[in-house]
Structure 1
Amino acid sequence: MIKIYNTLTRQKEEFHPIEEGKVRMYVCGPTVYNYIHIGNGRSTVAFDTVRRYLEFRGYEVNYVSNFTDVDDKIIRAAKELELTAPEVADRFIQAFKEDTQALNVKPACTHPRVMDHIDDIIAFIQVLIDKEYAYISEGDVYYRTRKFSTYGQLSDQSIDELEVGASQRTGVEQQMKEDPLDFALWKSAKADEISWEAPWGSGRPGWHIECSVMATKLLGETIDIHGGGQDLEFPHHENEIAQSEAKTGKTFANYWMHNGFVTIGEADDKMSKSLGNFVTVHEMVQQIDPQVLRFFMATTHYRRPIRYSEKTLTEAGTNLQRLRNAYENAGFRLADAVHSLPSDAEELAKIQHLVERFTEEMDDDFNTANGITVVYEFAKWLNLYSEQKEVSVVVLEKARSTFNQLLEVFGIAFKEELLDAEIDELIAERNQARKDKNFARSDEIRDLLKAEGIVLEDTPQGTRWRKEA
């Protein structure tokens, strides 16, 4: 039975999805005004790993993660780059997809964008106004925070504590509020800024409203899991709960999950763009093997902080190579393995025991640190078996496929390099497909080879191939 640490209740709880065998999961995505840094990447990798484990356990996961494409930061970036806000968003959404693909992050089932849901946001806000949870002030719309009786529960803060902090804020916006605690659902239009027409005036959505709208629209009024970085607990997720539950009268999310920060430097400061102490994923995947970066982030328990340094990255690379060596050593022994041996049942039972131990560790709040420890034990056993005088094809193939299945939970995939003879066979098949005018198969083979770094050159003398430099 999977147990999840629920931030809302501050304890581990048995996971019971709303619908048997299916999981509705929403994870807050990036504000797309720049390349994502390692801290952003950690959150993306952490919840991709959670998703992969849920799928490993047999669940069908409807995974939704948004792009915030309307925001003050995007508007500022647009002015600096002399682009429109949508052009800035498009540029960095594409960059996000490329960078996360390099980290072997599975695309979300849906990646909703704020600009595509403006009508839904306006309708949602109107319900809150009608229920008197929101009010209009000089073209802005604010949420009456104090009206929501359990506000502060997620972040474990009282209204009185929050009021002290809110009362210290100053500025025009604070003067427009009924209460210092109230937060913006809609911001009135400013000159030369992107805006939309609403019943209460031209403007754009506040940050917090978007996730409430898109999560409930795409996954239902109550979802199973809502995730995001630890820094989103307050105020973003706190506000999401207040908005969503005020509108629907139902629990917004049954389980709240938050990943720890990435820290950097001797003082272990949180990595962030505001502090200027960040390293982008875009830079890193060009400097090191992206699988090493993925492994580094995926194998620390998601709630714990990760210390980013050259030393910790090197350690991750060394550990990943140990696993790759075990996998490849076993593959090498397939060449002289016999089909089966009397000891096969005993060895297969060892494999099954390792899987059970892995599952037990990962069921405990997705404990990847303990899960990867079991995989290291698997690698040790695999090395010892591969060194035996006689080995079995049955055991080696089962071990290698199972080993890969466990590593896929961490987003790690070991690929077999194509031998020259295999490449020649595929090219011959492609040439025959072209003669038969089976262009779909011909293109499929070309794409397969391209994915393996093989470049084809069709010449009058025939097809030549070379490996990309």
Structure 2
Amino acid sequence: MESLRIYNTLAREKQTFVPLEEGVVRMYVCGMTVYDYCHVGHARVLVVFDIVQRWLRQLGYRVTYVRNITDIDDKIIRRAIENGETIKALTDRFIQALHEDADALGIERPDLEPRATDFIPQMLSLIEKLEARGYAYQAADGDVNYAVRKFAAYGKLSGKSLEDLRAGERVAANEAKLDPLDFVLWKQAKPGEPDDTGWDSKYGRGRPGWHIECSAMGCTLLGNQFDIHGGGQDLQFPHHENEIAQSEGATGQTFVNYWMHNGYVQIDNEKMSKSLGNFFTIREVLAQYDAEVVRFFIVRAHYRSPLNYSDTHIDDARQALMRLYTALKDVTPDDAPLDWHEAHAQRFSAALNDDFNTPVAIAVLFDLASEINRHQDAALARQLRGLAGVLGLLQREPRAFLQQTSRPASAMALDALQIEAMIAARVAAKQAKNYAEADRIRAQLLEAGIALEDKPGGSTEWRCV
């Protein structure tokens, strides 16, 4: 196989991937803040880095994949108080929901899924190191802040200069900070806050700032320097920029070699945002569409490009995935192992080695499907199913998928029993030579998103279109 090349946000170019330790990959991805249900943007992060870790393992690397959970945060505290429940009750419930959503999307569990609240001692130790090296100070209000101007390389990931940041500073001035750009490492507990929102420390009772969590968990679990750090594009600044400043300020070592960021999710060409009210939870989407369709919709876009979510695009993804399953409907794959020397597999491999180019890899699957439709070849069917499996696709029984796949909104009112009853009525009409009625029933089903296929012998099968 060709060498893997990854677009490194830090270098602003594709680079040949060379791990720190031969044959081993250590990867950290920023996970979710668990105070509500995951949304479509979270689904993209989950799917994108699931593909990354799957392909790294396929290449033969021994991967340690860490995806953290933020289970202490101002939003979490506010929501728990509003609900009249403990922090742990709230976060446990939404961690369970996260796992349910991820499992539905076919996401393989990370090797490690650390919770921030289990790493408070490591965070405090990191803050003490930063203080000892002159990067951190305790302000008059009790908060411990990071002195951004002390870290000469600040801005190297995002490309932002300190002067530009200072000129564009929009946050209300905090007189306790030495500089408005400084960010909090340890937040002093406020009067009246619940007991389960703070920890005792040499700086007083408080809780960690958001950025220090990932530095502490990443360095503790993967070492002071590791191979890949990933997350959504929105985390590039300030979160990942601050992680670099904290980690490298404390250790004096390069924190991460390759930074990966997936693109934004847009809703009808507008950036998804809770403030705009144009976001959807994964559960809302899965209530309408099959989970594999949603996964396919995400995978067929390149991870760095914007992903435009709309009913039209999801319906298009559904029909495209059905075409792949249709190719396998009447051909049973042989039981030989996947042949990576075969031409389609070589093209598929080259695509994923080119910065995980899933759109090109998906195009290879459609080329295979076309050949299967022409030749009904069991070896090609094995290649299609095997290559798609690398992407977490096409592993279900084709006929069951084609019948069970969620229908467009116009078809939601018809269940399987109703469809079968209408098919029976059509059969009866044909037997009575009432062909106009039979055609009317077929057209009615097609309008509802159900296509009929008359088989030799007189039987009729249906599928969603």
Q: Structure 1 length as normaliser, TM-score?
A: 0.81
Aligned residue identity for 1:370: V
Q: How does 1:32-431 map to 2 (within 5 A)?
A: 32-137=34-139, 138-166=141-169, 168-171=170-173, 174-190=174-190, 191-193=192-194, 194-265=197-268, 268-331=269-332, 352-386=342-376, 396=378, 398-416=379-397
Per-residue deviation, residues 378-435 of structure 1 (Å, max 9, x unmatched): 111122220xxxx6xxxx2x4333322211232214234899xxxxxxxxxxxxxxxx
Per-residue deviation, residues 80-105 of structure 1 (Å, max 9, x unmatched): 21111221111111000000100000
- Partner SS for 2:14: strand
User: In structure 2, how many angstroms separate the alpha carbons of the residues matched to 1:200 and 1:353?
Assistant: 62
Aligned residue identity for 2:138: I
Structure 2: state its 5+ residue gaps.
Answer: 401-465
Aligned residue identity for 1:358: F
- Partner SS for 1:163: helix
User: In structure 2, how many angstroms separate the alpha carbons of the residues matched to 1:72 and 1:382?
Assistant: 54
C-alpha contact 1:143 1:184 (8 A) present in aligned 2:
yes
User: In structure 1, how many angstroms separate the alpha carbons of the residues matched to 2:380 and 2:113?
Assistant: 36
User: In structure 2, how many angstroms separate the alpha carbons of the residues matched to 1:417 and 1:231?
Assistant: 38
C-alpha contact 2:28 2:218 (8 A) present in aligned 1:
yes
**Change in 2 beyond 3 A, CA 1:417/1:406:** closer
C-alpha contact 1:329 1:383 (8 A) present in aligned 2:
no
What is the Cα deviation at residue 39 of structure 1?
Answer: 1.0
Aligned residue identity for 1:9: A
C-alpha contact 2:229 2:256 (8 A) present in aligned 1:
yes
**Change in 2 beyond 3 A, CA 1:385/1:232:** same
- Partner SS for 1:153: coil
Aligned residue identity for 2:212: I
User: In structure 2, how many angstroms separate the alpha carbons of the residues matched to 1:80 and 1:277?
Assistant: 23
C-alpha contact 1:142 1:182 (8 A) present in aligned 2:
yes
**Change in 2 beyond 3 A, CA 1:243/1:349:** closer
- Partner SS for 2:227: strand
Per-residue deviation, residues 16-59 of structure 1 (Å, max 9, x unmatched): 01111111000000110100110111111111111111122222
Residue 8 (structure 1) aligned to one of 7, 10, 21: 10
Task: Figure out how many residues of one structure are paired with residues of the other and give that number.
Answer: 393
What is the Cα deviation at residue 215 of structure 1?
Answer: 0.5
- Partner SS for 2:114: coil
C-alpha contact 2:339 2:345 (8 A) present in aligned 1:
no
**Change in 2 beyond 3 A, CA 1:232/1:218:** same
The farther-off stretch of 13-22 and 234-243 is 13-22
User: In structure 2, how many angstroms separate the alpha carbons of the residues matched to 1:271 and 1:409?
Assistant: 29
- Partner SS for 1:235: helix
Q: What is the aligned partner in structure 2 of residue 460 from structure 1?
A: none
C-alpha contact 2:340 2:346 (8 A) present in aligned 1:
no
User: In structure 1, how many angstroms separate the alpha carbons of the residues matched to 2:206 and 2:339?
Assistant: 64
**Change in 2 beyond 3 A, CA 1:210/1:243:** same
C-alpha contact 1:148 1:246 (8 A) present in aligned 2:
yes
